A and B are shown apart, each in its own frame.
Chain A
Amino acid sequence: GAVVSQHPSRVICKSGTSVKIECRSLDFQATTMFWYRQFPKQSLMLMATSNEGSKATYEQGVEKDKFLINHASLTLSTLTVTSAHPEDSSFYICSAIPLLAGVQETQYFGPGTRLLVL
């Protein structure tokens, strides 16, 4: 159980275009999902916290107008990188916390999406 998927797994786009990445919890519902970014040979950096039905909370230094997050259902969150530039090339990873009350819950991670902006 507790499987999280991401689509696409890999995307190459031209500079200036927008890219949408989907994160789905396949066998559980999640009110909270997280988006991370990881540059080569670095650790994961949290970008934003996505709550179903409300606006995402962005970490300091992350542009909310550039990285649009939508969490429209209990199983789907999307990250759209708008007007992507080469410096946005990175490994984007989402995670989700299962919707279970009263228990210390674990985050489960997706397999990641590798974005290359040319």
Chain B
Amino acid sequence: DAKTTQPPSMDCAEGRAANLPCNHSTISGNEYVYWYRQIHSQGPQYIIHGLKNNETNEMASLIITEDRKSSTLILPHATLRDTAVYYCIVMEYGNKLVFGAGTILRVKS
């Protein structure tokens, strides 16, 4: 069973930042937070992951709260091509990825 809770859908204006929340209140100390996204009819694409500290890469930023019970994925300047289902997954090192329902992000012009 998925260990995370995400809103079913969100809208974002093109060029604006998209902030996708995720609750993982039962996360344990050695579990990582992973974010993937799936564009229609494609395989999931890795975005970012983190354990405790905030992380940033060329695609996004990941903000993890101090108690690690929630996190936010930030796409700084959303484009139409960022429209996808975004999955927040809590995973222990080496374990299987369990996908929940995710958040459908619609970027609109």
Contact = CB atoms under 8 A, between A and B. Distances in A.
A and B co-occur in one complex: yes
Interface of A: 4, 6, 34, 36, 43-46, 49, 91, 93, 95, 97, 104-112, 114
A106 B97 CA distance: 10
Contacts, number: 48
A104 B49 contact: yes
B49 A109 contact: no
B9 interface: no
A46 B98 contact: yes
Contact of A104 (B32, B87, B102): B32
Given A104-B32, A104-B49, A46 B43 contact: no
Interface residues of B, number: 22
B46 A107 contact: yes
B43 A111 contact: yes
Contacts of B94: 97, 105
A44 B96 contact: no
Given A46-B98, A106-B49, A91 B41 contact: yes
B80 interface: no
CB-based closest 7 A-B pairs: A109-B43, A44-B99, A43-B99, A109-B44, A112-B43, A111-B43, A93-B43
